[in-house]
């Protein structure tokens, strides 16, 4: 006979695993003015979670339980795990808003073939802020709820010292060759669009406190979602899917131009981006892939005719906000699974583009370009695409990623420059 695994040991309520005991209380919004400032210094980068934009969102710390999965059913297994533990949970929720009560943060691997695990984490403490509302959720596996968590500003993160950067899987030149090869295949009629990414290793003198990165990312890129889940940290401008009480929205980005820092010149560049047939084509593939995937789950869907230009500090993107009313019981994670990978990070047609990516990039994307975000017990949640990010592989080192959509009109050197611009948020946050 084998001894029972920790999961089989009966919990205090006689269930096969200890039930989650979850309590959400309302707190004065003034107490959570600075969400990121409440994060305690983590022993490990994976000990904190963040999903913050313009001072609103969610932060959390401590880990009550984690689920990890790999392969083509990674989304379905994560979904099933969450459904089971939330069905068993004992909940007292005084706020009852999206993001209150039981909550999991997640980060899913880009590829079914990835060696990297997808993960859902349930933190011990989550602090949320939205509009005038603020709340604290504590989760335990004890039969009694945790004591109220005092919310106090925490010591500031330390500087990681000098950071060095080095091309990782492919050198810039080899990556430029891969872009040229992709353009040749597109011109040969093999496929319409493919997104190719490259990676850079960042190594610091001292350990890199993820709060150091989050604080700086939020200052410089306040229109992005600044995230941290299980050691994946970044600032994404792209919302793959938000589900709130039956309304689904998605912000699709594709088509990029670098900013110069000169406002009037940048305005002229924004105009040329909005008229660029190469960028409009690249954008249209991405919007189509999202709209097609959402159509299967919605009774009505609104897709604007033309994109707007989203201004970030480093780049400008063509952007389209798609919205719809969900007419099935899909959770936000299930919707993310059906939208992933969109043509913003993969290409058109999807299966062919995925094969070209595996062949030409010569790296495992890990959780880069996969869905990252959170979900509550009702299935409402927000899942961005993990872009402008890095993944810890040691306390003082991260692997950074950036990718570019390649279409018939793409030029390798322009794409290299675009990837450099997309690496800038993480490089600057690191202090490079
Ligand atoms: C792939 C990335 O970004 C994606 C690709 C874009 C493009 O090619 O224009 C724009 C936004 C994102 O959808 C990245 O930042 O790594």
Quote the pLDDT of residue 169: 85
- The residue whose two tokens read 């961005």 is 384
Q: Which two tokens stand for residue 126?
A: 């989550």
Residue bearing the bigger pLDDT, 5 or 28: 28
Least confident of 7-11, 135-139, 426-430: 7-11
Give the closest residue to 82 by CA, choosing from 109, 110, 120. 120
The pLDDT assigned to 150 comes to 72
pLDDT at 5: 41
Distance 345 CA to ligand 1 centre (A): 6
Is the confidence at residue 14, as pLDDT, over 70? no
**DSSP letters of 349-404?**
SHHHHHHHHHHHH-S--TTTTSEEEEEETTS-EEEEE--SEEEEEETTEEEEEEEE
């994946």: which residue's tokens?
A: 232
The class level of CATH for 163-430 reads alpha beta
User: Which amino acids bring their CB within 6 angstroms of ligand 1?
Assistant: 195, 197, 238, 253-256, 317, 344-345, 387-388, 401-405, 422
Q: Which of 124, 238, 415, 418 is catalytic?
A: 238
Does pLDDT of 284 surpass 60? yes
Position 224 scores a pLDDT of: 98
Residue with tokens 């009313």: 325
Question: Looking at beta carbons, which pairs linking 303-309 to residues 24 or more positions away fall under 8 Å?
Answer: 306/274, 307/255, 307/274, 307/280, 307/283, 309/270, 309/273, 309/274
238 has catalytic annotation:
yes
State yes or no: pLDDT of 206 exceeds 60: yes
Annotated catalytic, 193? Answer: yes
Structure pTM?
Answer: 0.95
d(CA 359, CA 172): 17
Per-residue pLDDT at 331 exceeds 50? yes
Mean pLDDT, residues 165-191: 96
252 is written with which tokens?
């699709």
Contacts of 420 (CB under 8 A, 6+ apart): 402
Query: φ and ψ at 2, to 5 degrees?
Result: -90, 150
Q: How confident is the model at residue 3 (pLDDT cuts 50, 70, 90)?
A: very low
| Lookup: tokens for 425 | 């948020």
Q: CA 120, CA 104: separation in Å to the nearest integer?
A: 6
**pLDDT tens track for 354-392:** 999 999 999 999 999 999 999 999 999 999 999 999 999
Look-up: residue for tokens 């005084």? 94
Per-residue pLDDT at 2 exceeds 80: no
pLDDT band at 13 (very low <50, low <70, confident <90, very high): very low
* Length of the chain, in residues: 432
Give Cβ neighbours of residue 315 (< 8 Å, ≥ 6 apart): 256, 257, 258, 259, 418, 421, 422
Write down the domain spans for the chain: 6-140, 163-430
Out of 14-28, 54-68, 127-141, which region has the weakest mean confidence (pLDDT)? 14-28
Question: If pLDDT is split at 50, 70 and 90, which confidence band does 432 have?
Answer: low
Specify the pairing of strand 90-93 against strand 21-26: parallel
Residue nearest to atom 6 of ligand 1 (CA): 254
Express each pLDDT in 110-151 by its tens digit.
Answer: 999 999 999 999 999 999 999 999 999 999 997 666 667 678
Whether a cis peptide bond, with omega within 30° of 0, leads into 341 is: yes
CA of 141 to the centre of ligand 1 (A): 40
Dmax (CA) for the chain in angstroms is 74
pLDDT of residue 111: 98
Task: Return the beta strands (E) in 245-285 as ranges.
Answer: 247-258
Of 306, 317, 220, nearest in space to 270 by CA: 317
Residue 83: phi and psi, rounded to 5, are -60, -45
ipTM, interface predicted TM-score of the complex: 0.99
CA distances (Å), origin 248, targets 83, 108, 237, 240: 20, 20, 17, 10
Average pLDDT, the chain: 94
pLDDT at residue 145, rounded to an integer: 61
CA distance 221 to 318: 17
Using the mean position of ligand 1's atoms as its centre, give its distance from the Cα of residue 316 in Å.
11
Q: How far is CA 182 from the centre of its chain?
A: 26
Ligand 1: nearest atom to the Cα of 405:
8
Alpha carbon of 404 to ligand 1 centroid (Å): 5
Q: Name which residue sits closest to atom 2 of ligand 1, judged by CA.
A: 403
What pLDDT, on the 0 to 100 scale, is given for residue 153? 87
193, 282, 284, 418: which is the annotated catalytic residue? 193
């Amino acid at each position: 006979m084998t001894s029972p695994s920790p999961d089989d040991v009966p919990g205090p309520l006689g269930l096969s695993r200890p039930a989650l005991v979850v309590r959400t209380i309302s707190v004065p919004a003034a107490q959570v003015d600075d969400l990121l400032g409440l994060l305690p210094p983590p022993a490990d980068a994976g000990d904190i979670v963040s999903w913050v934009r313009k001072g609103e969102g969610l932060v959390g710390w401590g880990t009550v339980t984690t689920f990890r999965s790999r392969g083509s059913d990674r989304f379905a297994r994560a979904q099933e795990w969450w459904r089971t533990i939330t069905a068993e949970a004992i909940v007292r929720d005084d706020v009852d808003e999206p993001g209150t009560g039981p909550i999991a943060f997640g980060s899913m691997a880009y590829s079914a073939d990835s060696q990297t695990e997808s993960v859902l984490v349930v933190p011990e403490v989550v602090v949320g802020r939205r509009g005038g509302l603020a709340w604290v959720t504590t989760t335990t596996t004890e039969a009694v709820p945790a004591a109220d968590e005092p919310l106090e500003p925490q010591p500031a993160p330390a500087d990681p010292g000098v950071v060095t950067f080095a091309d990782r899987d492919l050198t810039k030149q080899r990556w430029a060759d891969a872009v040229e090869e992709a353009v040749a295949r597109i011109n040969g009629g093999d496929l319409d669009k493919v997104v190719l990414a490259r990676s850079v290793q960042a190594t610091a003198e001292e350990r890199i406190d993820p709060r150091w990165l989050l604080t700086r990312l939020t200052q410089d890129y306040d229109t992005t979602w600044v995230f941290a889940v299980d050691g994946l940290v970044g600032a994404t401008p792209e919302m793959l899917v938000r589900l709130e009480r039956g309304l689904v929205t998605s912000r699709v980005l594709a088509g990029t131009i670098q900013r110069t820092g000169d406002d009037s010149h940048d305005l002229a560049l924004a105009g040329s981006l909005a008229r660029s047939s190469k960028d409009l084509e690249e954008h249209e593939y991405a919007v189509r892939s999202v709209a097609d995937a959402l159509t299967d789950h919605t009774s009505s869907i609104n897709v604007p005719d033309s994109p707007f230009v989203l201004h970030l500090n480093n780049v400008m993107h063509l952007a389209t906000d798609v919205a719809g009313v969900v007419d099935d019981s899909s959770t936000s994670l299930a919707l993310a699974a059906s939208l992933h990978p969109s043509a913003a990070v993969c290409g058109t047609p999807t299966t062919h583009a995925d094969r070209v990516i595996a062949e030409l990039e010569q790296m495992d994307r890990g959780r880069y370009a996969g869905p990252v975000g959170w979900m509550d017990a009702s299935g409402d949640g927000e899942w961005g695409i993990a872009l402008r990010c890095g993944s810890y592989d040691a306390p003082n080192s991260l692997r950074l990623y950036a990718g570019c959509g390649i279409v018939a009109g793409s030029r390798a050197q322009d794409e290299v420059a675009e990837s450099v611009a997309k690496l800038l948020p993480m490089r600057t946050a690191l202090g490079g």
